């Protein structure tokens, strides 16, 4: 597996799905449960920021990891709702900008990690001792983005 390709592919899938998405539909709820498309992107942004913190630990980045800390301290629904709420007053374009900016940081950090480090089992004990960073990327990021881009695409089809 090439982690950089997987990270890029997941991000590009989201961006392709948003191409031509009507501006007036960004805030309409019901794209994913009660979430709007803006909320979905806000949610994905929070996960990108968690990955920035995770990858930073692999490149020796010193300092706090606030997104990872919050992610580990809260249960998933609480984390998701709090992160979406943080971005509620932002425009869809501002949330998308933040998403793209965080992804840029992810790609920059991931490029600094040796390929064999992605495959090393046990480097994320809080995720599972039997997993490696590349497993975490595939399950928590690529799969997650696939789930959400399919929901955005289905919603786009409903709203025209």
Summarised one tens digit per residue, pLDDT across range 76-89 is: 999 999 999 999 99
Point out the least confidently predicted range of 28-37, 48-57, 109-118, 124-133. 28-37
Cβ neighbour number for residue 124 with a 10 Å cutoff: 18
pLDDT at 112 (0 to 100): 97
How many C-beta atoms surround the C-beta of residue 111 within 10 A?
A: 12
Quote the pLDDT of residue 28.
86
| pLDDT tens, position by position, 47-65 | 999 999 999 999 988 888 9
What is the overall mean pLDDT for the chain? 93
pLDDT at 38 over 90: yes
Cα gap 122→132, rounded to integer Å = 6
pLDDT at 29: 84
In order of 20, 21, 28, 160, the CA distances from 24 in angstroms are 11, 9, 8, 11
Burial-class residue 146 by CB neighbours within 10 Å (0-12, 13-18, 19+).
middle
Q: Evaluate if residue 160 carries a pLDDT over 80.
A: no
Separation of alpha carbons 5 and 136, rounded Å:
14
Q: The pTM is what? A: 0.93
């Amino acid at each position: 597996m090439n982690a950089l390709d997987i990270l890029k592919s997941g991000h590009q899938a989201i961006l392709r799905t948003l191409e031509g998405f009507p501006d007036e539909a960004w805030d309409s709820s019901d794209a994913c449960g009660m979430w709007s498309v803006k909320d979905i992107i806000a949610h994905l942004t929070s996960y990108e920021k968690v990955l920035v913190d995770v990858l930073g630990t692999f490149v020796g980045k010193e300092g706090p990891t606030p997104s990872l800390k919050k992610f580990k301290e809260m249960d998933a629904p609480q984390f998701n709702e709090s992160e979406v709420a943080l971005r509620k007053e932002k425009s869809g374009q501002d949330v998308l900008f933040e998403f793209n900016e965080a992804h840029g940081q992810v790609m920059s950090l991931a490029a600094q990690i040796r390929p064999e480090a992605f495959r090393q089992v046990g480097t994320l004990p809080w995720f599972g001792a039997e997993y490696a960073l590349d497993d975490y990327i595939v399950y928590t990021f690529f799969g997650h983005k696939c789930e959400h881009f399919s929901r955005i695409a289905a919603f786009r089809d409903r709203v025209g």
